[in-house]
Each structure stands twice: as C-alpha cells, then as structure tokens.
Structure 1
Amino acid sequence: MFRNEVLYAQDIYRNETRSLRHLTLLNEEVWQVGFILVSDFSFVGFSSAIEPLRMVNRISRRTIYSWKCYSLEGNAVTASNGINLNVDGALSDIDKLSTVIVIGGNELNRQSHPELLNKLKYLVSHGVAVGAVCTGSQILAKAGLLNGYKCTVHWEIMDSLIEEFPDLDVTGNLYEVDRNRFTCAGGTSALDMMISLIMIQNNREIASQVADMLILQRIREGNESQRMPIRGRIGIRHPKLLAAISLMESSLEEPLTCRKLADQVNISIRQLDRLFRRYLSTSPAQYYLGLRLSKARFLLVQSSMSVIEVALACGFTSASHFSKCYRQKFSCAPSEERV
C-alpha cells in the first residue's frame, strides 16, 4: 500500500513539470478543457469559466481552446438554478485533455463520489492540470490534490474546508493559481481566474480584449477579497458600528461579550446598543446570534460536520441551547436540515 502511494506521488511530481511547461501555449496548439459538472452545480460559475475561452477563439479567429462537459455517468446534470444541461460524456470518456475543471455547487455531501476522486487522481498522474470553481475545491481536497498548494473556496464554506483539511493552505483570496492547480471562490471570480490563465497562456493584450468584451471594468487580482466591504453589504457608514460588526464576523467560534465589543471600538455598552437599535433595529446580542446561526445553517447543509461540531464552530457550548436558538430562528431542529 505504502509503495503504491510513493509511486503515485512520484508520478505527480514528474508530470507537474510537464503541466507547467504546457501552461504557455505553443503555436497552433489547441488547449483542450474538460468541465466536470456535479449535481446542483453553480451555473454562474460554469458560464463565467467557459465564456472567456469562447471569447479568446472569437478574438483570435482560430480555435485556441476547445472544451467538453462531463458528468459522473454521462447523464444530463441539473444546475443549482434548475436548468438541465446535456453533457458530452461520462467520466470514463475523458481522454486527451490539457485541463480539467470541477464546477462545484450545493449539496457537497453527495458530490465527492469515489469514481470522481479516483478519476481526478488518475488525470493528475498523467500530467493534466486541474482546477476548481466554487465548492469544487473541496472535491479536489478530498482527492488529496491540493496538498502542498495554495487554494481558495467560496467564503461560506471556507471554515468547513479548513476544519476538514487543517493542513491545507487555504486563503480568503478571490482565486489562486499555484503551478498546475487553480481554484476560485465561485460566482464571477471564475471570470477573473480564467482571464488570468488566458494572460499566462497567451498575452495581456488578448486577456484585456476578453475583459473588454465581457464588460469588465478591470481584471481583478487573485489576492483581492471575496466579499464586499461591510459598508456596502449592509448600507451603513457609521465607523463604530462597522468596526463592531467586523469584530463579530471574525469571532463567531469564540463570541465576544458586548462589554469586550464596546471596549474594542472605544464606546460604552449603552452607546453600542443604541447604534445597533438605531441602524439595524435589533440589539447587538441578537445581531451577533443571527450571524452565528446563519453560519451554522450553512455548515449543516454544506458540510459533513456533526451537529455538535457545527454548534462548537459557531460558538455554542451547549447542544440543547444551540438547538433551541436554531429552532427559534429557522422553525426546525438542526438535525432536520439534513433530512
């Protein structure tokens, strides 16, 4: 068993060099991309990844990129928006590709099929570059293909990815391109990641033309933040209130008391309470609880963490208290989210 793992690791090492060498396209070379669509995949992530490739071909007036779509058994796949998409084949039909990109989505617990994980390992061992959009990063992680690489994932699932794979180098960036692995947060960040790859494989001029055709004001850098600033998300500009909410969002696992929150933003508890009630029509404690419960709901739906693990990750030390608060907010028990 150990010998097979060593041989597999050696195959990956030898073929990474080959993949890196092929990141720059040769004259008249066609870069063949395979998109693997899992059930409930992100349609916006998929279209954001494929459209820049189409645009390169249009601008260049020749086929620089070709692509095919695959599903587990070759059947049509339903996207998260309910649209059914026919594919070109099953995983077993994948052959002679330069790159494979996994398009993730919801229902993560049902997407990491052993056949998919094994296929990804096989492709990497044969020199294929591998990428992921949105929660596809978690599938690559389950296949062991992100060990030793920088990676990113959608901010909603970042905590559960780190919890499940504590040794991974997970960033909160928009996208990461690390040798022959590339991952992005999902949504429109796939546009930026693909344009970045186009720039590497072609040149800045073509990449800029693609961005211009796609009505992008600029090409975002990979190290930019995924989320809008709090000010833009909640439509409030009061600096003390924004600072308090920022502290809350960064301390969900170990919640701060209202006293500590007030002290850290240099106001009294009474002033803190007034700010929340004036601008958000709620108390600081209730707002904080809402943030923790919203995170809990996502972890219950999107991760394999147990209910008690989710409770602890969201700052609840008592399972009964967590269940009571959860039921009050969402009208169901935490365990019912997985039925």
Structure 2
Amino acid sequence: MTQDYEFPVEVETSDHIPRRFVFVLLNEFTLFAVATASECLRVANRMAGKQLYRWAATSETNEPVLSSSGVAFPVDIGFDDVTRDDILIVCGGMNIQTNSTQKAMNFLRKESRKGVKIGSFCAGAHTLAKAGLLDGHRATIHWENQDGFVEDFPEINLTRSVFAIDRNRFTAAGGTAAIDLMLRIIADDHGTELSNAVADQLIYSAIRTDQDFQRLSTPTRMGVRHPRLSTVIDMMEDSIEEPLSPSALAESVNMSTRQLERLFRRYLDRSPKQYYMELRLARARNLLMQTSMSTIDIAVACGFTSPSHFSKCYRAHYGVTPYRERGSQSKPEG
C-alpha cells in the first residue's frame, strides 16, 4: 500500500533555524555522493514547505574542484566562512592519500576543537582518520578502501556498514550510502514521516540503516547458492594474512578435501587453492594502490612466506611485478 502525504509534510520539530551542511571538497571527490546528499536536503525543504536545511561547498583554494568524473564543481564559501553551527562533510574519492592535504587536515582539526560536527563521504574517512579525528570512534569507508584503511589506522573501529554515526562523527561509504545517511539525519531531526517522504520523492524504496552492509552477500555477489561454499568463501576472505589449509576449510563445513575441491570446480571452475590465491592477490593489489606499505609488509599481510614468492605469484596473475605495478601509478588509488 502506498503512503499518501499531506503537503506540506508535518515535521516533528518547531525549530525553524535552518541547519547548514558544508561539503568540504577534496580534489577528485566523488560527485555522486555530494549530488544525492544535497538533493535529499532540497527535497526535505520542499516536502516540509519551509527551509529546514541549507548547504554550501568549500575548498582549500576557494576555486572550483575537479571531481573524479572530471566535472569541475564550484564552491560557495571559503574555509574562513565556516561557523561552529555548520556541519562539515569531507568529500573524498580517488587518490585520497595525496588529496588529504595538510591544509585541509589543519582546517578540520581547528573546526573540531570548536565542537563542529564533522563527517565524511566515500574515502573522506581516510582524511578524517589521518587528521586524528576518528580516534576512538566507529567509522566506515568505501569497501574498496577498507584494506588500506585497516593497515594505516588499525586503532580505529572500522565497520562494513553503509554508514556509521558515533557522537559528533559520521561517515558514509559513498555512492547511495550518502542517501541512507541523509535520510537518517532528516529522520532524527524532523521525524520519519518526512524522511520517508523524501525517499519516495527520490524513488528510493530500500532505505538502509547502519546495520546494513555495503556489499552484497557472497551468494548474491557470486551467483552461488550453495551454503557451505559460501561459508568457505567467507572464511577465506576473513583469513588472508594467515591462510587456512584446504583440509581445515573442508573440515569446517563437514566435508572432505576432495568434496570441497569438486564443489569449487562445479561452481567456480577453479580449485580452492586457486580461488584463495586470487583473493590474496586482489588484497595485495589494493594495498599496493592504496597505501605506502613496503612490498615486504604487503606480502606478510597477504599470507606470503617471502617477498620473492609474492612477486612470482603476483606476476603470474597480473603480468607485472608488484614493484612495477606500483611504479606505473603516478598516485595511489583512493
């Protein structure tokens, strides 16, 4: 049954002072998250029939910022125009290590000391972490950046959820997770009827919470519906640094090693050993692109007994050595 809303939608608060969100745009930021978040705020104002929210964009140069898609996005205000009543959202994307500049981090630290609420979209969580602003907080980041984040900031409680809110910090994984986060904020501010009305206007029919994961389940992602195979794959993904033996994996799901071998051949057209190696090499490639870790440390983190063995396996799979792979990138991916 569809929900019919009276227009304007009645909000649960009588506070008419608009809250302003300021998008802190880092170079090569993800445009999609910024666009959808600002649309949520615009639609909330429209559905409520009054200005509940305002928004603006800023950058360290006061000049338009180039997004990861190549679109230049204009800014409205400078760093000095931010007030303690604003809510800052650090918007990151590609090459986040390079684009987490000292000037941006100093600005965020200064605003944090004033008590400003600060969050992030996509890889922007890396910038917050590097600035020391996520210490002791629960946080999330786009799944593609998680491997590098865990290695760089092991003390931070990183989750795989689509967004995380912890006191005066909030993080969203990017993409459509920005919508989920903004809908949650709107609901907290003005009630679920308004946030649901915004979702309906955006044709967004599957609102997620901070308990929902970013990625599809293993069976859905791989098109594999065999429960024991899915269990083994999950175990492999959770045991990259200290790989489990085929016999241990088989025993965990009450199968023989030969049965497990047949299961992988049937559904994935490869052996358990081959599949496990591909997972480990994919993790290694992420770390090569996202971090400044040495190849020795990456080899250890991905369960290889020696750098030479790691290099040999990497070259066999990707056609290039880890050293040349990293050298071919002018900047690490974000």
- Tell me the TM-score normalized by structure 2: 0.89
**Counterpart position of 1:211:** 199
- Which residue is 1:308 aligned to? 296
Counterpart of 2:124 in structure 1 is: 136
1:156 aligns with 2:144: yes
Whole-angstrom CA distance in 2 between matches of 1:277 and 1:168: 39
Residue 54 of structure 1 corresponds to 42
Residue among 278, 282, 285 paired with 1:294: 282
Structure 1 residue ranges, 4+ long, deviating more than 4 angstroms after superposition: none
Q: Percent of aligned pairs with the same residue?
A: 43
Report the aligned-residue RMSD: 1.9
**8 A Cα contact 2:122 2:173, kept in partner:** yes
The aligned amino acid for 1:103 is C
Q: Which of residues 272, 283, 290 in structure 1 aligns to 2:271?
A: 283
Asked if residue 169 in structure 1 is aligned to residue 157 in structure 2, the reply is yes
Q: How far does residue 29 in structure 1 lie from its aligned partner after superposition?
A: 0.5
Question: What corresponds to 1:254 in structure 2?
Answer: 242
Q: Note the alpha carbon deviations across 1:239-265, whole angstroms, 9 max, x for none.
A: 222122111111111111111111111
Q: 1:34-87 CA distances to partner (integer Å, 9 max, x unpaired)? A: 101112212222223222111111112222211111222123322222323222
What's the CA shift for 1:97?
5.1
Is 1:244 aligned to 2:236, yes or no?
A: no
Report the more deviating stretch, 40-49 or 312-321. Answer: 40-49
1:26: Cα distance to partner? 6.1
Instruction: Return 187-196 or 76-85, whichever deviates more.
Output: 76-85
In 2, the alpha carbon distance for the partners of 1:130 and 1:151 equals 12
Report deviation, 1:308.
1.8
The answer to whether the aligner puts 1:98 opposite 2:86 as a matched pair is yes
Measured at CA, do residues 188 and 255 of structure 1 come closer, stay the same or move farther in structure 2, by a change above 3 Å? same
Of 90, 106, 115, 1:127 maps to 115
**1:108 shift after superposition:** 2.0
Contact 2:84/2:115 (8 A) holds in 1 = no
Q: Which runs of 5+ in 1 are unaligned?
A: 1-23
Aligned mate of 1:66, from 54, 68, 90: 54
Could you say what secondary structure the match of 1:157 adopts? Answer: helix
* Deviation (angstroms), 1:287: 1.0
Gaps in structure 2 of 5+ consecutive residues? 1-11, 328-334
Q: Deviations over 1:260-314 (max 9, x none)?
A: 1111111122221112122111111111111111111111112232222222211
Query: Which of 301, 319, 333 is 2:321 aligned to?
Result: 333
Cα 1:287–1:101 change in 2 (3 A) is same
TM-score where L is the length of structure 1:
0.87
Deviations for 1:158-212, whole angstroms, at most 9, x for unmatched residues? 2332322222222222211112111122221111111111111111111111111
